[in-house]
């Protein structure tokens, strides 16, 4: 019999499974709390359970945690990048950042990615598989234990497209915000999508208080399709209509991500068109000087270009930030570390 993935189970599922083993119901909370509050990685650590029960759990279930394969610490800003190994030998990345308000972990949702964005290292070899809810949670649990800290904020902006792994990501959100577990505030979570429109509509119905980030990166179909193949499936009209409906329904501000690539999407005309297209959407624009990945050939826009672009958006009444670069000495942007480690 195959062992069941206990860390991905909801409390109700876990309770049913424990009942099947013939255990009394007061065990449910104990086991769930060991998993999601104490963040143990083996049944042996569940010290208020008898040895026999720990063995029984081990015979029936498996805790799909992640193990630290490599850790890089930035010399400039204490940003830490983890390369985690999964139970089947695959690798994923997470980035731990320290802000004034606490620790934020950027987590992966897939091994690789199939979206094909031209500037991104995660997608160069396509997708290998989805992460389970357990494997998304474990990135947080292991980083917390490794540093003896509490992570207060999570961004789903690592490798992978969260809305291409919808069910597991929804289960992850349910578990990480559960009062009996980490009890993380939904408001401290950001989910970033390259524009999987049906996923945005599904998420809208959940009415979560999380922040939706949309990787827009271009104001027109022509430019966006040249950077992001997903735009050929759902174009900017369809995407921005979904975004407008999303903000109208949830009253939550969308964060539009815009990676500035020299000579591609960074002209003043692009800024003006962007302002026109985003009018009426409750939003914020985050300009990201593109991280230059060798294989992609994308060049970062100059500081002056970014300032000019930003001024035009501000003049049009938009809230704009330029992303602070953390961890640039440790390959901190998506997919770079996994890629480099596969080659060696
Ligand atoms: N698949 C999701 C989340 C992962 S990527 C998405 O596309 O939104 C997280 C963010 O990093 C996205 O905005 C993505 O477009 C951006 N990104 C990827 N590669 C980058 C690079 N080389 N430089 C700057 N931003 C990059």
- Across 2-66, the runs of DSSP E, i.e. the strands, are 4-5, 61-62
Cα(180)–Cα(309) distance, integer angstroms: 46
pTM: 0.95
Tell me, yes or no, if 93 is annotated catalytic.
Answer: yes
Q: How confident is the model at residue 328 (pLDDT cuts 50, 70, 90)?
A: low
96-105, 220-229, 296-305, 326-335: least confidently modelled range: 326-335
123 Cα to the center of ligand 1, angstroms? 10
Element spanning 305, H or E: helix 303-315
117 Cα to the center of ligand 1, angstroms? 8
Structure tokens at 67: 């193990």
Reported as a single tens digit per residue, the pLDDT across 74-94 is: 888 889 999 999 999 999 999
Atom of ligand 1 nearest to the CA of 217: 15
Whether 36 contacts 94, CB under 8 Å? no
- Across the chain, the runs of DSSP E, i.e. the strands, are 4-5, 61-62, 67-73, 80-85, 91-99, 102-106, 110-112, 127-130, 151-156, 189-193, 211-215, 254-260, 283-289, 319-322
Sorted by where each starts, the structural domains of the chain and their CATH numbers stand as: 4-62 (1.10.150.530), 67-343 (3.20.20.70)
Cα(90)–Cα(242) distance, integer angstroms: 34
DSSP letter assigned to residue 300: B
What per-residue confidence (pLDDT) applies to 327?
Answer: 67
In this structure, which residue's CA is closest to atom 22 in ligand 1?
291
Atom of ligand 1 nearest to the CA of 121: 19
What per-residue confidence (pLDDT) applies to 341?
Answer: 67
What per-residue confidence (pLDDT) applies to 337?
Answer: 67
């Amino acid at each position: 019999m195959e062992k069941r993935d206990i860390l991905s189970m909801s409390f109700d599922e876990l309770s049913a499974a424990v009942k099947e083993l013939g255990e009394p119901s007061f065990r449910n909370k104990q086991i769930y709390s060991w998993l999601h509050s104490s963040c143990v990685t083996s049944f042996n650590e569940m010290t208020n359970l008898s040895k026999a029960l720990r063995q029984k759990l081990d015979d029936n279930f498996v805790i799909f945690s992640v193990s630290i394969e490599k850790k890089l610490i930035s010399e400039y800003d204490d940003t830490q990048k983890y390369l985690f190994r999964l139970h089947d030998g695959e690798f994923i990345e997470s980035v731990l950042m320290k802000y004034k308000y606490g620790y934020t972990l950027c987590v992966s949702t897939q091994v690789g990615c199939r979206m094909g964005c031209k500037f991104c290292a995660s997608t160069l070899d396509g997708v290998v598989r989805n992460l389970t809810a357990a494997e998304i949670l474990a990135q947080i649990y292991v980083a917390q234990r490794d540093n003896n800290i509490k992570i207060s904020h999570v961004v789903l902006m690592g490798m992978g497209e969260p809305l291409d792994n919808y069910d597991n990501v929804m289960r992850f959100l349910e578990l990480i915000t559960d009062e009996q577990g980490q009890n993380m505030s939904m408001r401290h979570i950001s989910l970033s999508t390259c524009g999987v429109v049906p996923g945005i509509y599904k998420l809208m119905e959940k009415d979560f208080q999380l922040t939706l980030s949309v990787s827009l990166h271009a104001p027109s179909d022509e430019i966006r399709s040249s950077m992001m193949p997903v735009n050929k499936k759902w174009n900017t009209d369809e995407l921005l209509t979904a975004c407008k409906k999303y903000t109208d329904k949830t009253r939550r501000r969308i964060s539009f991500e815009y990676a500035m690539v020299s000579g591609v999407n960074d002209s003043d005309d692009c800024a003006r068109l962007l302002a026109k297209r985003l009018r009426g959407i409750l939003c914020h624009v985050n300009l990201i000087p593109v991280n230059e990945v060798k294989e992609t050939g994308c060049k970062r826009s100059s500081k002056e270009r970014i300032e000019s672009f930003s001024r035009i958006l501000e003049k049009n009444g938009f809230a704009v930030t330029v992303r602070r670069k953390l961890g640039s000495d440790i390959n901190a942007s998506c997919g770079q570390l996994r890629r480099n480690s596969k080659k060696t």
